[in-house]
Structure formats: C-alpha cells, structure tokens
Amino acid sequence: MSIISKNELINKAGDIKVLPFVARKVLETLNDEACTIDDLSGIIEKDQAIAARVLKISNSALYGLRHEVTSLHQAILILGFKTIRSMVLSVSTRSLYKNFGMKEKILWDHSVGAAIASKIISAGFGSDVVDVSFIGGLMHDFGKVVMNNETPEVYGEAMMKMYNEDVESIAAEEEIYGYNHAEIGARVVEKWKLAPLIVDILEKHHLNDLKLQDISDPVTARSIAIAHLADHVCKVLGIGYRNPNEAIRLHELTSAQYLKISKNTLDKIVVDIQDTYNKERSIFE
C-alpha cells in the first residue's frame, strides 16, 4: 500500500481550485467589506444548481422562517451574509467527493446528520455560535473525505477497522497513515482561508487531550463542544454508522457538561434531530 505523505495530501487538497467557481468567489467576499447583497446574489446565481439548493435549505425546517423565501436577495436579507456563505459552502461540499459509492454515502450521511444536529444544538448559544454551527457540523470530518479521495483503497481499510472492528476513526487512521483526518481537514480549510473558528472545529472536535474550559474564547469552546456533541448524537442515532449506539450516555459527555445541557433536554434534542434529519436530508442530495 502506498501512503501519501501528510504534507503532500494537504497541498493537493488545499489548492483553492478544487472548489467550485461559485464557492471560490463567495469565499473571496469574506474579506470584501464592500460586498453588497446584490453582489453576493449575483455570484450565487451563476450556478443555478447551487442557487436552487440554497433556496431549498433557506425554506427548510432548519431555519423556520415564517414566510417562503423566493429569491436569493430575500434569503440573504433575512438570513445574513454569514449564513448564506455557509450554505453555499455546504452545497458545494458534495461536489468535492471524487467518487460516490457506499463509503462516500456513509461519510456524507454522517456529515449531513452532524450539520443538522449542530444547528439544532446551537440554538440559544448566541449568533456567533449559531452562524458557524451548520458548516462546522457539515465539515467536521472533511479530512476523511480528503483522505478517501486521494487514497480510496487505503482509506477503505481504515473504514473497515472503524465500522467492522469498532475502532475509533483517529486510532484507525493513525495506525495506517501515521496521521488523522482532524489535522488534515483543519490544514486544508486553513489553506482555503476559511475562518479560524471553522479550522478549530475541524482540528479539535474529538477533544483529544483538550479541556474545553482551558479555551479562553467562549465562542470557540462552545462551537467545538457542539460539533463534538453533534458527532456523538449521530453515533447514538446510527447516522453514518452500521447501527445505532445506544450505549453512549450523551449527558455524561464532556461537551454536554460544558454546554450545561441536561439529560431531559438532550433527550428532546435527539428526538428533534432525528425528526429533522428524516424530513430534511433529501435537500442535500
């Protein structure tokens, strides 16, 4: 088996040209304070498939708007620049899968589930956390996609260990590659110049040797905690896994305790996440 080096993998996937044109242009607006609603909607409208899916997500239960959104201009006006940028990146992420078989379906289903879970969990934690939660959840395992794209046979072996032998993804990857998806994903999106908060979520969502209370910025700590908790909710529900794992006690997780979410509240959140996932996952296909 040929194992690609960590730096080579990051450099290949970190080329901004791997992103669709519209996603690249939308990212450029992150640093353009003069960008207007018309500028942003004009960029998104250049790809009708992306534009249509952004409108679908805007009108989904995830955002709970009282009136139907019928134009990109209206969606941006109501939901804001940051949310629309996240949506464009979200719908563009699907195109970054070089192949789409069973492995990729498992990875995608889990990503969608984590995005929905993160969005729901984030309610009440402030707009800065809510703004990043959806894209953070969707992309938290993006390093897995990169590793699978470039070395599909090798990553297939890692996934066999994860799903058949119940080995944690980080451990399986470290054993085979000598590095893991968290560091790969973080370094790739860092090269794309995504927000440092998203980089932190990708890099730290497993909480390995990380104490949330030691993170000085509460927005960063809460965002990482939400991604960690959302990941485990998906494990409990079996979203992107062979079977549900009902042995996980969500309320005892470090992330749930840091966020001060009680067992009763978590039980209700999990039901809400399952219902929303069942209803809304088709908009990401």
- What are 109-127's pLDDT values in tens digits? 999 999 999 999 999 999 9
State yes or no: pLDDT of 93 exceeds 70. yes
Mean pLDDT of 128-148: 94
* C-alpha distances out from residue 236 to 116, 231, 232, 250, 266, Å: 14, 9, 6, 8, 12
- pLDDT at position 30 is 65
State yes or no: pLDDT of 283 exceeds 80. yes
Mean pLDDT of 160-177: 91
For residue 218, give the nearest of 89, 126, 95 by alpha carbon: 126
How much is the pTM?
0.92
Domains and CATH numbers, the chain: 6-284 (1.10.3210.10)
Q: Give the lowest-confidence range in 8-12, 96-100, 104-108.
A: 96-100
* C-alpha distances out from residue 216 to 118, 128, 209, 226, Å: 21, 15, 16, 16
Residue pair 143/98 in contact (Cβ under 8 Å)? The answer is: no
Going by pLDDT thresholds of 50, 70 and 90, the confidence category of residue 191 is very high
- pLDDT at position 1 is 59
- What are 232-265's pLDDT values in tens digits? 999 999 999 888 998 999 999 999 999 999 999 9
- What are 1-28's pLDDT values in tens digits? 578 899 999 999 988 888 888 888 888 8
- What are 194-210's pLDDT values in tens digits? 889 999 999 999 998 89
Going by pLDDT thresholds of 50, 70 and 90, the confidence category of residue 87 is confident
For residue 273, give the nearest of 240, 233, 245 by alpha carbon: 233
